[in-house]
Amino acid sequence: MPTVQEAKFRLDRALKVWRQEVQLLLDLQTSARPESRQHQRKAAAKAQAHYDRASEQYLNKIAGNRKAQGLAS
């Protein structure tokens, strides 16, 4: 199980990759063939799913730490 810092790093990295994939998709919207755009849409969706998992893991880690410290309400 990753530490809070590791989970935060993974979350930040996943967000960076997702942003890059979305930017590539936006860049392709006007100049690329439909097949290329569809491929990039899938890559952006995959990156978003990875970000969602990293976010969930990070939030669960924080909640677990708060609970362990008796800070949860």
Taking the chain (73 residues) in runs of 10, the rounded mean pLDDT of each run is 89 98 93 91 98 96 79 57
70: left (phi over 0), alpha (psi -120 to 50) or beta: left
Give the per-residue pLDDT at 72. 55
- DSSP assignment of 11-36: HHHHHHHHHHHHHHHHHHTTTS-HHH
Give the per-residue pLDDT at 11. 97
pTM of the model: 0.81
Please state, in angstroms and rounded to a whole number, the distance separating the CA atoms of residues 23 and 45. 12
Give the per-residue pLDDT at 58. 95
CA angle centred on 35, ends 47 and 14, rounded to 5°: 10
Eight-class DSSP state of 72: -
Give the per-residue pLDDT at 48. 98
